[in-house]
Amino acid sequence: MSEELTNQETNPIAPPEKITNKDLAKSWFRWWYANEIPHSFDRMIAPSLLWALMPIIRKLYKDDRHVKEAYERHSQFFNTQAVWGGGTILGITISLEEARAQGLADGSIDPDSEESGIINATKVGLMGPLAGIGDAIDSGTVQYILLAIFLPWAQAGSGLGALIPWLAFVALTYTYGFYFVKLGHRLGRAAVSEIVGGKNIKRIINGLSVLGIFMMGILAASYVKVESSLKWSISGKEFVLQKIFDQILPGLLPLITVMGVYWYFTRKGLKITHALVGMSVILGVLAGVGIL
């Protein structure tokens, strides 16, 4: 025991280097770029997180033992959404590793303490809730808003209508993902409260939700084409069902179709193939008997 203490006194742990915005940007780019590349069943996307943290770890820990421990720590199972989850957790993890490295250097943390377990517990505890938020906003709202904006270009035959939404989505998510990295690094675990409960973030989420619903309404009215071909004559006067619907509410049949699909999803789950087959059969039968 005395020999171990003597070694620690004669070989003090070097203090960590300061983590800069450049370091955070490099780490974020690595995570964003390699997010799904080394995907595996046993570790999921943990190798991506480890690769993103490698430059940070090398900068914080000068002792090979601590570097190895950090590599092992971040090789364990990890899976979350790339931007809201990955960006925030990456920043928080860097903050926790920075605090651990500083504690090892000034002696406030025992090298054999459970501090590393706290880092992993934090990652595991946050990866699910933040993934749910990210999937709902990025995959469920942002990408559809961009598609709706540029859909007329695609319908007009322009290839930019397909390319620009993808480029805009990449640029937008990359930008605010890096903001989450910096927020996580600056606030540590408190960053989650800022993202989940912060007033500014709530305003953004609510605004995106309203805009997403608004754009879905525009898409339904403009690009869902369902019209009735049914017409009949009474006392020599011709009645056209579609004209009657247009007088009541323009776009009534597209609205009924969209709401029917929405009702199906809420009752049966997001079974897209079943919905497409069922809708094709129903619309086909109605067209066959002359209603549509």
Question: How far does Cα 164 stand from its chain's mean position?
Answer: 19
- Residue type present at position 169: F
Cβ(23)–Cβ(182) below 8 Å: no
User: Which has more confidence, 183 or 7?
Assistant: 183
> What are the φ/ψ torsions at residue 42 (nearest 5 degrees)?
-85, -35
- Ranges 42-56, 140-154, 215-229, 268-282: which has the least confidence: 215-229
Q: Where are the domains of the chain?
A: 1-223, 231-288
Give the mean pLDDT of the chain.
78
Tokens of residue 272, six digits: 């897209």
- Integer angstrom CA distances of residue 279 from 205, 252, 257, 271: 32, 17, 9, 12
Regarding predicted confidence, which is higher, 39 or 112? 39
The rounded distance, in Å, linking the Cα atoms of 15 and 140 is: 44
Cβ atoms within 10 A of the Cβ of 228, count?
A: 18
User: Can you tell me the mean pLDDT for 138-151?
Assistant: 79
**How does residue 171 score in pLDDT terms, banded at 50, 70 and 90?**
very high
Give the pLDDT band of residue 8 (cuts 50, 70, 90). very low
Predicted confidence at residue 6, as pLDDT, reads 43
Contacts of 45 (CB under 8 A, 6+ apart): 35, 36, 38, 39, 78, 79, 80
Instruction: Say which DSSP state 11 is in.
Output: S
pLDDT in tens, 51-87: 999 999 999 888 888 889 889 888 888 888 888 888 8
Mean pLDDT within 122-148: 79
What pLDDT score was predicted for residue 104?
Answer: 81
154, pLDDT greater than 60? yes
Residue 97, number of CB atoms within 10 A of its CB: 25
